Amino acid sequence: MIFNEEFETMPREALEAIQLRRLQATVARVYNTVPFYRRRFEEAGVSPADIRSLADLSRLPFTTKTDLRDNYPFGMFAVPMDNITRIHASSGTTGKPTVVGYTARDIQAWAELMARTLMAAGARRDDIVHNAYGYGLFTGGLGVHYGAEKLGASVIPISGGNTKRQVMIMKDFGPTILTCTPSYALHVAEVAAEMGVDFGDLKFKAGIFGAEPWSEQMRQEIERKLNLKAMDIYGLSEVMGPGVSIECIEAQNGLHVFEDHFIPEIIHPQTGQPLPCGTPGELVFTTITKEAFPVIRYRTRDLSVLHAEPCRCGRTLVRMGRIQGRSDDMLIIRGVNVFPSQIESVIIDAGHFEPHYQLVVDRLGNMDQLTVRVEVNEAMFSDEIKNLQTIERELERNIRETLGVSTQVRLVEPKGIQRSEGKAVRVIDNRKL
Ligand code: DLL
C-alpha cells in the first residue's frame, strides 16, 4: 500500500516540474536569508536566476559538514528563531554536534514522509510500532514516533535500552512493527533467547532498521532470528532525519528516495563530478521543501548508487542502493581500501560466528595491522582449541581472498563484544592516538 499515491507514483515529467519549481524557490530563499549561502554562491559566480533547469543544480557549490560546524549552532537557519519549533543534533564522534532546526511545517512534512516510510515497509493503521530508536536529540525516536501517529498506528515510545523490559513489553503488548538499529535488533534477539522468549511466538511482521551500516547477510540473520521482514531505512539529521529513503516490502531491493522533497545526486568522491545512475559514488542531497534548515548539495560521505528503473511496488521514485560505507569510514590498510561492511559479509558467510565484531587498527612501526575481533557462536565455543584455531586461520584466509588484505583474526567468547543500544561501534582506529 502507498501512503501518498499522488506523489509516490507521479510520472517522471510531472515530478521533475515540481522539483524544479521547489528547487528554484529554495535557492532564492537561502540566497536571501542565509549569509553563508549568499557568499558561497557569489564565490561560485552563480545566482538564483541561473537555475533554469534541474541540470543547473550542478552549478551550485557543495555544502559540507565543516560548513555546518563553522556556523554552529544556528548560523545555517533560514528562518528567525521564533519560527523554529524543534531542534535536533547529531552526536558526531568528534567535536561539536551538528545542529538542525525545524519549523512547524517542517515537522508536518517529516511526519508525512515517515508515514510514507512506515507504510512502504508494511505498516498499517492497525499496527503497533515498538519504537526502540533513541528519543532525544537523535532524530530516530521522534522521527518514527510522529510518522506512526500520522499513519494512525499505535506507537510504543520505548526508546533504547533496558532490553529485558523491552522483551517483556514485546511479549505482553504484541507489537507488530519493530524500529531500531540493526545491531540493537540482534542484541534484543539475544536477550530474548536468554529469557526463554521465542520470536516465533511474538507478533512482529516487519522491522525497520537503519541509522548505521549493515549488510545483506546481516539482514538474513535478523530475518531468521527475529522472524520478521527486515527493511532498510536511511536518513541523516542534516537532511531531515529518518525518512529520506526506505525499502518497499514488495521488492526489498533499494531504498526509494522521496524526491518530491529531496533531490539526490551521486558524485565522484574525489573530483566532485556528478555521476550517472548505476555508477557508485558519494550521495549528495538538496532539500527542496525544508523551511528552517534547507541544505544545498550536502555531501553525505555515504557511498551508494542510484537506480532509475521502475520498481514492482508501483513507486516511480528513484532507488538508492544499500549504503556501502562512508568515504571517511573506509580503512586504508597497507594501501588496500577496506569497508567494515565487506568484512561483516565474510564473517557472517562463514557460519561459525555471531554478527558481533570489531575492527581494531594499529600501526606497528610503519605497518598497519588490522585485527578482526569476532564472537564465536555457542556451538563453536565449546569446541576444542585446535578447531578454534583452524577457524581463525580460515577466516583470515577468506578475508584475504575476498578483500585482498591480510588481517589477524582474534576469536572472542560469546557476548565478549560490547553491545550498543543505538549505533554500534565497529572500528577502533588506534593510529590516530
Ligand atoms: O541516523 C537518522 C536515522 C534514524 C536513520 C533512524 C535511520 C533510522 P544521523 O545520526 O545524523 O541520522 O546519522 C546519519 O547514519 O549519514 C549514514 O552514515 C548513517 N546511516 C543512516 N541510515 C543508514 C542506513 C540518522 N540505512 C548517518 N545504512 C548517515 C547505512 C546509515 N548507514
Cell of 114: 515517515
Name the band, by pLDDT with cuts 50, 70 and 90, for residue 330.
Answer: confident
**Pocket of ligand 1 contains residue 235 by CB under 6 Å:** yes
Name the band, by pLDDT with cuts 50, 70 and 90, for residue 336.
Answer: confident
Q: What's the structural domain count of the chain?
A: 2
One-letter amino acid at 68 equals: L
Q: Residue 244: what pLDDT?
A: 98
- Do 345 and 324 belong together in one domain? no
Among residues 328, 353, 370, the one where a domain terminates is 328
Characterise 284 by phi-psi region: left (phi > 0), alpha (psi -120 to 50), beta (else). Answer: beta
Separation of CA 233 and ligand 1 centre (Å): 8
Q: Residue 142: what pLDDT?
A: 98
- Do 301 and 344 belong together in one domain? no
Separation of CA 323 and ligand 1 centre (Å): 10
Domain containing 419 equals: 331-429
**How far apart, in whole angstroms, are the C-alpha atoms of residue 124 and residue 228?**
16
Has residue 172 got a pLDDT over 80?
yes
One-letter amino acid at 394 equals: E
Has residue 93 got a pLDDT over 80?
no
Element (H, E) at 284: strand 281-287
- Do 362 and 275 belong together in one domain? no
Has residue 129 got a pLDDT over 60?
yes
> Is the pLDDT higher at 93 or at 360?
360
Has residue 42 got a pLDDT over 70?
yes
Q: For 237-294, where are the alpha helices, taking DSSP H only?
A: none
**How far apart, in whole angstroms, are the C-alpha atoms of residue 273 and residue 325?**
19
- Mutation to probe ligand 1, out of 146, 212, 238, 284 (largest number of atoms < 8 A from CB): 212
- Do 86 and 228 belong together in one domain? yes
Average pLDDT, the chain: 95
pTM: 0.93
- Do 291 and 422 belong together in one domain? no
Q: Residue 431: what pLDDT?
A: 83
**Pocket of ligand 1 contains residue 139 by CB under 6 Å:** yes
Among residues 292, 313, 328, the one where a domain terminates is 328
Q: How many other C-beta atoms are found inside a 10 Å radius of the C-beta of residue 351?
A: 9
Separation of CA 211 and ligand 1 centre (Å): 3
**Pocket of ligand 1 contains residue 213 by CB under 6 Å:** yes
Ligand 1 atom having least distance to the Cα of 233: 26
- Do 82 and 143 belong together in one domain? yes
Task: Find the angle CA(174)-CA(175)-CA(180) to the nearest 5 degrees.
Answer: 140
Is the Cβ–Cβ distance between 8 and 316 less than 8 Å?
A: yes
- Do 317 and 338 belong together in one domain? no
Among residues 328, 361, 383, the one where a domain terminates is 328
Mean pLDDT within 282-294? 98
Q: What is the DSSP letter of 54?
A: G
- Do 338 and 383 belong together in one domain? yes
Angle between helices 340-350 and 385-403 (to 10 degrees): 140
Q: For residue 345, what is the domain's CATH number? A: 3.30.300.30
Mean pLDDT within 62-79? 96
- Mutation to probe ligand 1, out of 234, 238, 240 (largest number of atoms < 8 A from CB): 234
- Do 305 and 350 belong together in one domain? no
Cell of 248: 518497499
Separation of CA 182 and ligand 1 centre (Å): 11
Q: For residue 245, what is the domain's CATH number? A: 3.40.50.12780
- Do 256 and 373 belong together in one domain? no
- Do 194 and 304 belong together in one domain? yes
Name the band, by pLDDT with cuts 50, 70 and 90, for residue 432.
Answer: low
- Do 155 and 123 belong together in one domain? yes
Ligand 1 atom having least distance to the Cα of 235: 5
**Pocket of ligand 1 contains residue 234 by CB under 6 Å:** yes
One-letter amino acid at 54 equals: L
Has residue 383 got a pLDDT over 90?
no
